[in-house]
Structure 1
Amino acid sequence: MKTFLAEVVETILSENENISDIIFVVPGKRAGVFLKREIQNRMTRTVFAPQISSVEEFVQELSGLSLISNIQLIFEFYAVYQKNTPQEQQEDFYNFSKWAQVMLQDFNEIDRYLIAPEDIFSHLSSVKELDHWYLSDQKTPLQEQYIEFWKTLGTYYTALREELLAGQCGYQGLIYREAIENIEHYLHHNNHRKHIFIGFNALNNAESSILQEFLAAGAEVYWDTDRTFMEDPEHDAGLFMRQYKRKWKYYQKNPFKHIDNRFSEPKNIEIIGIPGKTGQAMYVHAILSELKNREELEGTAVVLGNEELLNPVLNAIPEDLEGVNITGGFPLAYSPVASWFHAFFQTLENEQSGKWYYQNVLNLVSHPVSKTLLFHKGRDLASGFIRTIQDNNIVFVTQEHLQNAFSELIADTGKDIVPVTELLFFSRENTTADDVIRKCSALTLRLKEVYALQGNQVFLEYLYRFYEIFNQIRFFNEKYQAISIHALTGIYRELLLQQTVDFQGEPLEGLQVMGVLESRNLDYETVILTSVNEGDLPSGKSGNSFIPFDIKIAYGLPTYKEKDAIYAYHFYRLLQRTRNVYLLYNSDPGSFDGGEKSRFIQQLTTFRQENHSIRERIAVPKVGNLPGPQAPVQKTPSLMETIRIMAEKGFSPTSLSNYIRNPIEFYKQSVLKVSDEYEVEETIAANTLGTIIHDTLEDLYKPLTGQVLTPDHVADMQSKVNGVIALKFAEVYKGGDFSRGKNLLSYEVAKQYLKNFLEAEAKRIRDGNAIKIIEIESNLKVPIDVPGISYPVYLKGKVDRVEETNGVLCFIDYKTGRVDQADVELAEWENLIIDYKYSKAFQLLCYSYMLTRNSSYSLPAEAAIISFKNLQKGFLKFAKKGASRSEKDYGITEETFRNFKEQLYRLISEICDPEIPFAEKEDQPKY
């Protein structure tokens, strides 16, 4: 395959004996590198290399101005804005920067397209006035200020232009406008040199004027297009070149170079829909894995329609693939140091009067970079601090917490060195943006010392770039004195997005990975193009501007229509000379940029070329069978020893209920002691609320053990309940704030629960019931003689309350959740250890059994649950249903225990049986 650049160089060498005096101008630097190679490969004698410039470099040379960075341009614009705006109407830099970026973009377009600024700004301000308040006879001060803003745009533009020209610099549009003024001067001093422009497409008005001036002076232009696009008046890929060929005076008498006829040649085109971005990257891996030799590799390019795919595509490149060149560099914003500084600024922005929200602190301290900084004398101080926050339920971290956690590190810090904790955590009060910048620079230097000792070259490269960023911000702040802490993070993010870490590679060899714009003028045998979706190729109606669509049309400024045509050219130019094409698009309709394939794919298939072989398919990942239930856990000798120890310590009713629900969960929680990850309880959890209510009732009722309740007892408890519950909240909900928000609601709910309960107690007394408190919160442990088990087995637990009501003994269990009477009624004894639905009844019987075996209580007795969410139902008593639905026995007798023990023994025998593994219950999910 002969590439476009090879054809152009071949033509130029045949027409020019000496190319040393030729100046080549190409769209981008990458095209210049490949052009230089083509010249070198075709030269048969030694000559001085010609000058090869990108169009940006060439236009800067023409204008005599240097390109200003976006950040510096914003600051220059802000200085102009302050000089030309009344003091009372001025915004701070942070708010100014939000709209200034869009305005500068419009200034740039106006200059690039050589629009008379006074005309368009006058037109724009008139339109804005008509759009909003044309019916108002008298305008408010706000309306007047709004209209005045649009009238002042011309003043801002002129003042900014003068300021930049005085400093011999400019933004791209201003450089183009100045270049037009200097063409004649430039040509006069370079009349002995020939200029050749190669591979341009969509030219702005300034570029169009420049090329026409140079054509008239003897320059040459080689266009990179195809007959298919030029002859079809509706094809967007040839839109601009058809206009140049038709409208430029030069082409009325001279040929239009260079129209090819390669697009209609045979091509194998595969169109593959793949769900997700990662899926596309993995499919790229599959294609690249099929490359067999170096020639195939060098003739292949992976072109990213959406450059967000760079990271997944890099990870998907086969490890055994040698010679990969990546254009554009790795975005610094994707580096681990960037995510660490993001966490740092998040913590800073959310600081409140010397306190930091725990989640922001955890995000920062748990980051691997922080752990490197906070590692001291072989100890991971960061992990210890995280555990302290979780154990003490610290929602807002203070300087005192930091001092206590890192006292060792602070004490061992050098005399003239600021401790790391003071660099990471500081109050914004009396802190300037310059202070923050200096701390950021100090942090990068601390990290440099650590990673230099580790020999981590990649991280050192990252840190060097961040050090550059903070130095730039410091320079701008010192020069313009405009940055607030609020604005600092925005400037930092803007600079970060512009930074990349360049890859080391050979740009002329091996597999090429690039963006769409880098592919200009380059040709490959095989092209893999990703993200061929609407919204990516083309980008759609994107782009912020203050200039309305109709005004853009009137003044010849580009709209989304022209941008779509530019994307069409790049897409079809990629396919123009290639033989094998893979077009990958995101077929996932649930993603923001997925689902709809690009219109370019639709055009390829609808207006199919005769020699194009097109195959469409949808790629799906290989999906195996869904995983079944967890494999049963066999009881090994060591596991049996653990179960024996558990039996001797005692099975609790809760753990046995857990086994009934799902033996695997019992195995994980009770045998292996695997618990859920402990986290800061920002809002009070249900189990915490239950603990608080249980502890409050224990404190209130414990002094009344052995006494008969009287109205005075209840009145005394009602007077104490608020104080006791506040104390219990402070004890149980460590460090938590329950003075506001959801926690305050939980606090009020707990108080209401207890007030309702005590009122129910008072009513029982008023109704003539004699209530005697026997025991409160008793810890129990009784032996169980399970047949077939040779070692001791115990049942243990804590009974909430035992009372005697009108001479009837009752064992009571408190539940803060909702329980209904049906939950404690049993029809068949076998269901007790089979169906988790009867877990409340099972627990009541366990407590009753332990109480009667541990004390001299006489039977019959009763057992009941008090549900705080169902207090109106009173005591929910255990009942054994009889033959008929209405027949119920509420008594706890020895016969009850005989039936219960039979089921209890069966359950414990199963747990302790080495032949019965712990297995998942099939019906477990329904509970």
Structure 2
Amino acid sequence: MTSFLSHIIKELLDKHSNISNFNFVLPSKRAGSFLKKEISNFLDQPVFSPNIISIEEFAESVSGLETIDSITTLFEFYEVYKTASPKEDLEDFDNFSTWAQTLIHDFNEIDRYLIDPNSIFNYLSEIQDINHWYLQEEKTDLVKNYLKFWKKLPAYYASLKTNLLEKHQAYQGLVYREASEKIEEFALNSGANYIFIGFNALNAAEQLIIQKMLDHGAQIFWDIDEVHFHDQNHDASLFIRDYAASWPYYKTNTFNHISSNYAKEKNIELIGIPKNVGQAKYVGEILSNLPAQDLSKTALVLGDETLLLPMLNSLPENISALNITMGYPLKYSPFSSLFDKLFELSKIENDQFYYKDVISILSNSAVKKATQHQSDKVISIIRKENLLYLSKAQILSFINESDTSIFQICFSEKAISPIQLVKNLLELVIGLKEYFKEDGNALSLEFLFHYHEVFEHLEELLNSFTHIKSITSLHHFYKELSSSQTLDFQGKPFQGLQLMGMLESRVLDFETIILTSVNEGTLPAGKSNNSFIPYELKKTFNLPTYKEKDAVYTYHFYHLLQRAKKVYLLHDTDTESQMGGEKSRFLLQLEVEKQALHNIHNSVVVPEVPKIENSLQSIPKTPEIMERLKELAKRGFSPSALTTYIRNPLDFYKQYILSIRDKDEVEETVAHNTLGTVVHATLEAFYMPLKGRTLELAQLEEFKKQIALEVTAQFQKEYSKVPLSKGKNLLILEVVKRYVSNFLNMEMEEIKSGNIIRILEIESNLTAEINIPELNFPVIIRGNVDRVDEANGILRIIDYKTGKVMQNQLEILDWDELTTDYDKYAKPFQVLMYATMLLKNKEVTSPVEAGVISFKNLKPGFLKFAKKDKPRDKDKDSIISAETLENFQQQLKALILEICNPDVPFVEKEIKSNYGNY
């Protein structure tokens, strides 16, 4: 394959022995390095390199102006806007920037296409006057102001242009307009030394500039194939065909730079793959099968540049050399989320920071490193103390005074000014730099350097202009600036695989092309309407529309294929993607206009998904596990531990054998278990002093007066010291107060009814040894019973439940189901365990009952355990007899024997719920 650049150099050297004095102008800087390489391939001795520049650099040199970015242009425009608008009509900078950026884009297009601004803006003003929505004869103030805006556009344009030219600055379009006005003199002096290569879609200014240069001896080389050039309906040659037909230069000169490569033999694979990651993985497969010698002649072109990271992670091992022409976006750096969150935090107008924001900053890897993991300590305290909102002083109180510098910068006292925030961020970058410098982390230092440039640019803008008044505006411009910043990859530009975007492929040729994301909405990009100028007006003034923009993509697409021999075109088949998985019209066009020597093959690739068997997990009991079980038995099995095993042995294994507990997290809304703990703790505080005493009305009435104070104190102890003054937490606080109040009311009604209740135990820790001869180690059961009392001569063992419990949930029909059916018998199992522990340690002569008081079902009062013989049997035995205890202990021993049996593994139970299987 003879590349386009190689063909040009050969032609020039055939005519000129020395090309060092030429100035080559290319569409991009990227192509310049390849041009130098092609020149070196034709030389056998050292020569001075010719001057190689991009078209933008050429326009700058002709105009004598410095190109400024869109952000600086916006700031300059606001200065002009303030002087050109009456004070009463002025908008603040935030509102101004919402429409001014679009207007600057239109100014840029008008200048690039050399359109008289007064003419097009007057035309636009008249259109708006016709189209305005107010139909009455007399216009309202709103309509008048709306129309006044459109009439001011010529004045805005003229003032901005004058202001910039006085400073020898210009946005890109103005640079082109000024260059087109000065090109005659420039071309007269040095036109013959310039060569223009590889252009396609030229704006009016570029056309004028190049034509003037051609008139004075310059040369231009187009890269178009005869198949497309001679097809009057093909968009790949839309622009070049027009230049050949309309430029005066070609009326006396032959248009002879047409190649004949596209119709040659090519193998073209059209491959549909779901998802971006699927494309990246498949590209890895293609590359792994390419011979090593072909990799340097291969280009991997990303139609969607967001595919860069997954693509880099999918490259196979045989890629020993890689040249990446795209930059690594700054937004993918580990610092991106940190700076974004600091901007968000700075918008808070008080010094109370939401815990999630604080944790987000402190858990950032850079902050962890810079604070020597002091941030982990602060996060741990926040979670442990359940702190929802924190002040700066509170955060600093958690750490050593000598280590507060990073924390001081990250958390400001109260609302901060934009300039102070930028200074803080610059200080933070410098501080982080020192830590990463010590570690020799070159990549992080490179990221920090680019962030430093962004913040310095912001500082320069803030010092030069006074427009930004809020952190919100500052954040917007920070995102604008950082989105344009990328880290350039370092590599050998002419060795190995070339990874690039569509624009970087201009002028370059490769034998093997792999192009991804060939979908509608990506290639071509589709319609966009970032302009105040309507479609019809653009057509009238020959401004580019979506038709011309699609033609640009068409040229790039077919240029990639022009000299290639092997082509892989990948498209996303995922229907949830941007355009619903619709493949690009270019692929359909390839098939419809198929050349005789083109071998086109269609395929759809579906990733192989291994079948996953949903088998229940089984954990055999190793000697180490048996030792752990002996330790648990010696310390004591609790009712919750044993019911956990009944529910799911695997949960028992995780919680009690492996000691895996839920991670501490901030409880933003009071959880149900916390609510229950507060109810229990409140009643314990009330009833503990009454142990051994009979309940009296006066005591209960006094408790009712203390409910609010005691419940609040328990919430501060169990949940958070932050007052529960709003939202769901306030409602939960009131619910707990109501629970306690209703319970005390129930107790008072019992006493008023003549019942005598004597408190025996409150939150008592019980233990008992269970004799199991089959085991050669002691077995203890232990538990904490909420309350034991004596009511009218009957001993009652009471378990408090803040959830809803019904009487039938405490009734047992078949003892054999007690240790197998968690949902039916978990509550009887618990209260019988409490009864077993209590009666083993205490001589009791009175009848014994055990049960539950449900705070969501207080009306029936004490819900008693009961044994019945038939499902509908109304005769129930609620007294805990020796026979009842014997039957229960048989089931208890059998359960403990199963748990401690080395031959019975922990087998996961299939638990059915609203969320599927456990």
Instruction: Bin the TM-score by the shorter chain.
Output: over 0.9
| Within-5 A mapping of 1:190-229 | 190-191=190-191, 193-229=192-228
Aligned mates of 1:889, 1:244 — CA distance in 2: 103
Q: Is the 8 A contact 2:910 2:917 kept in 1?
A: no
Q: Is the 8 A contact 2:616 2:910 kept in 1?
A: no
Change (3 A) 1:868 1:563: farther
1:150-188 CA distances to partner (integer Å, 9 max, x unpaired)? Answer: 222222111110011111121111011111111211122
1:912 corresponds to 2:905: no
Task: Tell me which residue corresponds to 1:288.
Answer: 287
Q: Is the 8 A contact 1:787 1:905 kept in 2?
A: no
Task: Tell me which residue corresponds to 1:881.
Answer: 868
Q: Is the 8 A contact 2:23 2:193 kept in 1?
A: yes
1:123 corresponds to 2:123: yes
- Tell me which amino acid in the other structure corresponds to 1:161: K
Q: Tell me the TM-score normalised to structure 2 length.
A: 0.94
Change (3 A) 1:147 1:808: farther
- Tell me which amino acid in the other structure corresponds to 2:87: Q
1:445-498 CA distances to partner (integer Å, 9 max, x unpaired)? Answer: 222222222222222222222222222222222222333351322222222112
Which secondary structure does the structure 2 equivalent of 1:833 belong to?
A: coil
Aligned mates of 2:388, 2:193 — CA distance in 1: 72
Q: Is the 8 A contact 1:332 1:338 kept in 2?
A: yes
1:728-787 CA distances to partner (integer Å, 9 max, x unpaired)? Answer: 112211233410011112112222333333344444455555544443322211111123
Task: Tell me which residue corresponds to 2:314.
Answer: 316
- Tell me which amino acid in the other structure corresponds to 2:837: M
1:893 corresponds to 2:860: no
Aligned mates of 1:138, 1:764 — CA distance in 2: 81
Change (3 A) 1:400 1:20: closer
Task: Tell me which residue corresponds to 1:636.
Answer: 622
- Tell me which amino acid in the other structure corresponds to 1:883: K
Task: Tell me which residue corresponds to 2:358.
Answer: 361
Task: Tell me which residue corresponds to 2:556.
Answer: 570
Q: Is the 8 A contact 2:813 2:871 kept in 1?
A: no
Which secondary structure does the structure 1 equivalent of 2:908 belong to?
A: coil
- Tell me which amino acid in the other structure corresponds to 1:902: Q
Aligned mates of 1:844, 1:443 — CA distance in 2: 59
Q: Is the 8 A contact 2:794 2:846 kept in 1?
A: no
Task: Tell me which residue corresponds to 1:816.
Answer: 802
Which secondary structure does the structure 2 equivalent of 1:509 belong to?
A: coil
Cα RMSD after superposing both structures? 2.4
Change (3 A) 1:857 1:253: farther
Shift of 1:356: 1.4
Aligned mates of 1:470, 1:716 — CA distance in 2: 64
Which secondary structure does the structure 2 equivalent of 1:614 belong to?
A: strand
1:332 corresponds to 2:330: yes
Q: Is the 8 A contact 2:59 2:179 kept in 1?
A: yes
Aligned mates of 1:768, 1:472 — CA distance in 2: 83
- Tell me which amino acid in the other structure corresponds to 1:789: L
Aligned mates of 1:214, 1:795 — CA distance in 2: 98
Change (3 A) 1:106 1:651: same
Which secondary structure does the structure 1 equivalent of 2:498 belong to?
A: strand
Aligned mates of 2:856, 2:654 — CA distance in 1: 30
Task: Tell me which residue corresponds to 1:416.
Answer: none
1:398 corresponds to 2:394: no
Which secondary structure does the structure 1 equivalent of 2:796 belong to?
A: strand
1:665 corresponds to 2:651: yes
Task: Tell me which residue corresponds to 2:248.
Answer: 249
1:387 corresponds to 2:380: yes
1:67-86 CA distances to partner (integer Å, 9 max, x unpaired)? Answer: 11222222211211222223
Q: Is the 8 A contact 1:882 1:889 kept in 2?
A: no
Q: Is the 8 A contact 1:588 1:594 kept in 2?
A: yes
| Within-5 A mapping of 1:846-885 | 846-858=833-845, 860-872=847-859, 874-885=861-872
Q: Is the 8 A contact 1:859 1:892 kept in 2?
A: no
Shift of 1:909: 1.0
1:300 corresponds to 2:287: no
Aligned mates of 2:794, 2:252 — CA distance in 1: 118
Task: Tell me which residue corresponds to 1:168.
Answer: 168
Higher mean Cα deviation, 855-864 or 327-336?
A: 855-864
Task: Tell me which residue corresponds to 2:426.
Answer: 441
Task: Tell me which residue corresponds to 2:767.
Answer: 781
Q: Is the 8 A contact 1:469 1:495 kept in 2?
A: yes
Q: Is the 8 A contact 1:865 1:876 kept in 2?
A: yes
1:721 corresponds to 2:714: no
Match of 1:452 among 437, 450, 454: 437
Aligned mates of 1:884, 1:38 — CA distance in 2: 94
Q: Is the 8 A contact 2:188 2:216 kept in 1?
A: no
Task: Tell me which residue corresponds to 1:478.
Answer: 463
1:594-626 CA distances to partner (integer Å, 9 max, x unpaired)? Answer: 622222222223433332222222323332231
Higher mean Cα deviation, 353-362 or 583-592?
A: 583-592
- Tell me which amino acid in the other structure corresponds to 2:701: A
- Tell me which amino acid in the other structure corresponds to 2:884: T
- Tell me which amino acid in the other structure corresponds to 1:435: Q
Aligned mates of 1:736, 1:278 — CA distance in 2: 45
| Within-5 A mapping of 1:482-521 | 482-486=467-471, 487-521=473-507
Percent identity over paired residues = 46
- Tell me which amino acid in the other structure corresponds to 1:33: S
Aligned mates of 1:247, 1:263 — CA distance in 2: 25
Higher mean Cα deviation, 892-901 or 213-222?
A: 213-222
Change (3 A) 1:729 1:47: closer
- Tell me which amino acid in the other structure corresponds to 1:184: E
Aligned mates of 2:34, 2:225 — CA distance in 1: 21
| Within-5 A mapping of 1:616-695 | 616-626=602-612, 628-629=614-615, 631-695=617-681
1:278-311 CA distances to partner (integer Å, 9 max, x unpaired)? Answer: 2222222222222332x30110011111111112
Aligned mates of 1:870, 1:540 — CA distance in 2: 63
Shift of 1:806: 4.2
1:734 corresponds to 2:720: yes
Aligned mates of 1:243, 1:857 — CA distance in 2: 109
Task: Tell me which residue corresponds to 1:529.
Answer: 515
Which secondary structure does the structure 1 equivalent of 2:706 belong to?
A: helix
Aligned mates of 1:812, 1:312 — CA distance in 2: 60
- Tell me which amino acid in the other structure corresponds to 2:312: L
Change (3 A) 1:257 1:772: farther
1:338-387 CA distances to partner (integer Å, 9 max, x unpaired)? Answer: 333223323323x3422211111111111111112111xxxx31211111
Aligned mates of 1:285, 1:699 — CA distance in 2: 67
| Within-5 A mapping of 1:735-750 | 735-750=721-736
Which secondary structure does the structure 2 equivalent of 1:471 belong to?
A: helix
Q: Is the 8 A contact 2:616 2:909 kept in 1?
A: no
Shift of 1:593: 5.8
Aligned mates of 1:861, 1:257 — CA distance in 2: 110
1:41-76 CA distances to partner (integer Å, 9 max, x unpaired)? Answer: 224676544332211111112222121122222221
- Tell me which amino acid in the other structure corresponds to 2:883: E
Task: Tell me which residue corresponds to 2:144.
Answer: 144
Shift of 1:317: 2.2
Aligned mates of 2:308, 2:692 — CA distance in 1: 76
Q: Is the 8 A contact 1:533 1:594 kept in 2?
A: no
Structure 1: runs of 5 or more not aligned:
414-418
Match of 1:615 among 601, 607, 621: 601
Change (3 A) 1:125 1:875: farther
Q: Is the 8 A contact 1:737 1:743 kept in 2?
A: no
Q: Is the 8 A contact 2:187 2:212 kept in 1?
A: no
Change (3 A) 1:91 1:409: farther
Shift of 1:628: 4.2
Change (3 A) 1:234 1:421: same
Aligned mates of 1:594, 1:110 — CA distance in 2: 35
Change (3 A) 1:203 1:697: same
- Residues paired across the two proteins, number: 912
- Tell me which amino acid in the other structure corresponds to 1:572: Y
Change (3 A) 1:708 1:312: same
Aligned mates of 1:620, 1:780 — CA distance in 2: 62
Aligned mates of 1:693, 1:139 — CA distance in 2: 68
Shift of 1:428: 4.1
Shift of 1:858: 4.0
1:401-436 CA distances to partner (integer Å, 9 max, x unpaired)? Answer: 2232223424xx8xxxxx33222211344x432322
Which secondary structure does the structure 2 equivalent of 1:581 belong to?
A: strand
